[in-house]
A and B are shown apart, each in its own frame.
Chain A
Amino acid sequence: MSARARVLDSRLIWVFLALILAAAIAFFLSRPDRPGPVARPMDEIYLPGYPLYSESAERMPVQLFFPDIDLDLKMESREIYRSDETADRLRQVVVLTLGGPRAEGLLRPFSEGVRLRELYLYEGTVYVDLDIPEKAAMQTGTFMEHLAVRALEASLVQGFPEVERLRIVRNGQEVETLFGHIDVRYPRPAFAASPAG
């Protein structure tokens, strides 16, 4: 056997081994009972200084609401951690709503930079204190301000029977409006919203 034929032989062996390996991987991946991918932590649910959940906690579905391109509220299904305290679940809902939708065709209701400062639940009213930078007011007109308040109301009230209404405060203070137009003085019940189409 010539030296050239020996090299060709050893290459064929490597190709054969590679094919066996590929087949083994394909078989492993196609097994129906293979373990699923390890659940990645939901980085988007983060509130500085607040342990809202333990990453080993179970997750639960929630319905968030965002304006669609026709400026109607639409529902988006998302997940939060099943925290022991309802208030912690609500905090996660606020953080996700402020962060905006995942689906295309839905709009982010609050400008970037609006953050949750504090939230508490008292006799059916959820009080949400938002950190609203001046810049956010420079980007929000009357109708978007209305939709932002409605989106937060719907996300918090629908799906949480213990929540009946929402009262929003700004930067730790009671305010008449968030951005100068829409009345937020009184706790308001949720608005009807349409499911995602």
Chain B
Amino acid sequence: MRSLFRPMGGFFFQCILAAVLMVLVGLAADVKAVDDTVIFLDPGHGGEDTGIVGGGGLTEKSVCLDLAKRLKQKIDERLGYRTYLTRGEDKSLSLDERAALANNHRATLFISIHLGAFPDQRYRGVGVFYPAGRFHEAAGRPQPLPEWDALQATHRETSKALAGKLHHALLRRFPDGGDLGVHALPLYPLAALNMPAVLVEPAVLSRAAEEEKLGSESVRDALAEGLFEGVDLFLKNGVAGERP
């Protein structure tokens, strides 16, 4: 009897072991997927560089820092990806230093957060920008980019997709908030990044009514929520992690 059951027992044991291993491998793959995703949030300006200053005195650098911190907290709590801020306080940081930080952490995506300003009160709402292509596509004649910038150009389609998701999510959250569109621009803050990257301006600080709203914590939290939804949409579509 013993000899009869031993191989059977061995077989059952092997099956259970295999099942446990498969579950563990599956879990490990999931953990790995989460671990591989590194999100860099870049609050624009900082230190002596205030960025835009609204008529009421609100500064772009402070609102952007607050939005970035709120967005990081939402990603930490609800998605669990590793998320870093290029600056977590009010300090000067060059655009090149910001890019180097994200490159050295092999970030999966980079979102630079700014605010808009126009010489007229009619402009309002959200504008999202991604790097113009290998050639300055808006220019009348093509002009080659230097080598390092060409690296960013390899992520252009993914950057465009990320810009689209953020724009869509912010407009969905603020349907009457105003739409300044999605545009490909020659953006220096994103030029040296080796990952999909966008610059988002979720509101217009030079517009008095928007400056007043940006003073409210609940509005800033709703903007951060819109940004979070955009990041979530983008990552769920499986376009993160692209590398040349």
Contact = CB atoms under 8 A, between A and B. Distances in A.
A174 B119 CA distance: 26
Interface in B17-71: 44-45, 49-53
For chain B, what secondary structure do more than half of its interface residues adopt (helix, strand, loop), or is it mixed? loop
A192 B140 contact: yes
B118 interface: yes
A150 B186 CA distance: 11
A142 B129 contact: yes
A182 B122 contact: no
A141 B206 contact: yes
B185 A141 contact: no
B51 to A, nearest CB: 7
Contacts of A188: 136, 139, 143, 186
B105 to A, nearest CB: 22
A139 B52 contact: yes
Given A108-B119, A186-B143, A188-B143, A142 B187 contact: yes
A159 to B, nearest CB: 14
A139 B191 CA distance: 23
Nearest to A100: B119
B51 A143 contact: no
Interface residues of B, number: 39
Chain A interface size, as a band, is: 20 to 34
Contacts of A139: 52-53, 117, 119, 206
Given A142-B114, A142-B129, A181 B187 contact: yes
A141 B204 contact: yes
Interface of B: 44-45, 49-53, 95, 114-120, 122-123, 127, 129, 136, 138-141, 143, 146, 180, 183, 185-189, 191, 199, 201, 204-206
7 tightest A-B CB contacts, nearest first: A141-B117, A141-B116, A183-B188, A138-B53, A183-B186, A177-B188, A176-B188
15 contacts: A69-B122, A137-B51, A138-B51, A139-B119, A140-B52, A141-B115, A141-B205, A142-B187, A143-B183, A146-B185, A176-B188, A180-B51, A181-B199, A183-B191, A191-B138
Given A107-B118, A180-B49, A190-B139, 14 more contacts: A69-B120, A141-B201, A142-B199, A143-B127, A143-B180, A143-B201, A144-B117, A177-B95, A181-B187, A181-B188, A181-B189, A182-B188, A183-B187, A188-B139
